[in-house]
A and B are shown apart, each in its own frame.
Chain A
Amino acid sequence: MTGDGQGSDMDGKRAKLSVHLDERDGIPVARASGEIDVATAQGLRSELATVPSGTRRLVVDLSDVTFLDSTGLGVLIATLKRLQDAEDESSVALVVTRPQIVRVLEVTGLTGVFSVHASIEDALAP
Chain B
Amino acid sequence: MSADPPMPPRADPARSGIGGRVGDVEISMSADPELQVLARLAVSVYASRFDFGVDDIEDLRLAVGELCIACSAGATPASRLTLRFDHDRAALRVECTVTAVESDEDEDTANPLLGGLSPGELSRRILAELVDEHRIDPVASGTRHGHIEMRRRAAGS
Contact = CB atoms under 8 A, between A and B. Distances in A.
A39 interface: yes
Contact of B36 (A38, A73, A99, A100): A38
A108 B113 contact: no
For the complex, would chain B's binding face be called helix, strand, loop or mixed by DSSP majority?
Answer: helix
B111 interface: yes
Interface residues of B, number: 29
Nearest to A78: B111
A71 interface: yes
B122 A35 contact: no
B71 to A, nearest CB: 12
A104 B123 CA distance: 11
A30 B66 CA distance: 25
Interface string B11-51: 00000000000000000000001101110110010000000
Contact of B113 (A7, A70, A80, A100): A80
B115 interface: yes
A70 B41 contact: no
Interface string B119-139: 100110110011000000000
Nearest to B36: A38
Nearest to B108: A74
A10 B61 CA distance: 11
Contact of B65 (A37, A74, A103, A108): A37
A81 B109 CA distance: 13
Contacts of B115: 109
Interface string A1-24: 000001110101000000000000
Top 7 closest A-B pairs, CB basis? A107-B129, A39-B33, A38-B33, A70-B123, A8-B37, A74-B119, A39-B34
15 contacts: A12-B41, A37-B33, A37-B36, A37-B37, A39-B37, A69-B65, A69-B126, A74-B119, A80-B113, A81-B113, A99-B58, A104-B126, A107-B126, A108-B129, A113-B113
